[in-house]
Structure 1
Amino acid sequence: MKREAIREFFRRLHDANPQPQTELEYASPYQLLVAVVLSAQATDRGVNIATRKLFADAPTPEAMVSLGETGITEHIKTIGLFRNKAKNTLALSRLLLERHGGEVPADRVALEALPGVGRKTANVVLNTVFRQPVMAVDTHIFRLSNRTGLAPGKDVVEVEKALMRRVPEDYLLDAHHWLILHGRYVCTARSPKCGQCIVRDLCLFRDKTA
């Protein structure tokens, strides 16, 4: 996709949703961090159902540590990989208290040193909480970037780097949210809704649906 088309691509996404937000529910940076860790291989809807009660009982790292692994597990057992996620949630809460005074660090290296936090999770937190112009590439964004010709790449890191180069600077801060929402609801995996797509004419996908 050419640069003029990319700018128009994001202009339309912006005009349709000027202030995009994550669909994960949270009331603090800590809660967003936990929610993103829990969202791996799970839907935001499923995570929100679990975290409403979890965060009511354990809204802070201190409370989460007090809840313990068994208590966390009981709250999140409806989410995939819940046993490992419960261990990571407890461990990252302890490390936040030990290393960062219970606060979520605004630093990629420090975030990725926490259990269960990889590059994508760190980027989500850095972008959503600290408003850093970074790109969290999940399966939706990876698929959309390759399918449309926006930023092709063989893996998520390559796509991330391509997006950082190609997304216009004035749209970069919210690009992650626009792309994930478009991939989740319009440019879907099995049956993309090309007929409803506001960037259909800019997209390079050959097998467009009606």
Structure 2
Amino acid sequence: MKTQNKPLLITLAALAVVVAVGLVAFLVTRAQAPDPAAAAVVRADSHVLDDAGADAVTVVEFLDFECEACGAYYPVVEDVRQKYAGQITYVVRYFPLPGHANSTTSALAAEAAARQGRFEDMYHRLFDTQSEWGEAQESRADLFREYAVDLGLDMTAYDAAVADPDTGRRVQADFAEGRALGVRSTPTFFVDGRPLVIERWNDLETAIEAALER
């Protein structure tokens, strides 16, 4: 990503975060939050995009594939992953916002792909195409299925995974744990277990640098 594009990205992200925060504050906090003592930032079944070993800095992102702020930060995240390759472990967890018609549907597609070891491929496809389906009021499950076909997935297994209640429970487990950890909007990052408030485009990189120095 070129430097001159970053202010635009952050402007878009800031606007989207304002919308997401207001929406989630209204819809998510109405429910009783789970016990924080039972929550963990990373689980054994969490999706790891980069694994740099036991001594690496661990970055966890709670995301919604339909969230405009997540889409705006996606190239920033990819730059960070490339810059700190071999130094950070990057983990992704689901946090589908209630106000997005396809947030859960897209997460189900990603989880169905994960059943075939192709989570990262679907992760990239969903963010790369977000402008084509984001904010749609109707289900775009058919489009996500086309992505699975394009990726060469076993479609019998994919369809079965999407329909499997356990797939939905897996997505909602991340969401519930995110709420227990204090996640209220997306993207929300944790660096070595510490929650990070994003105010500037380089806050994630700054937090990683600080963690590497500890």
Relative to the length of structure 2, the TM-score reads: 0.30
* Structure number with bigger Rg: 1
More helix by share: 1
TM norm structure 1: 0.31
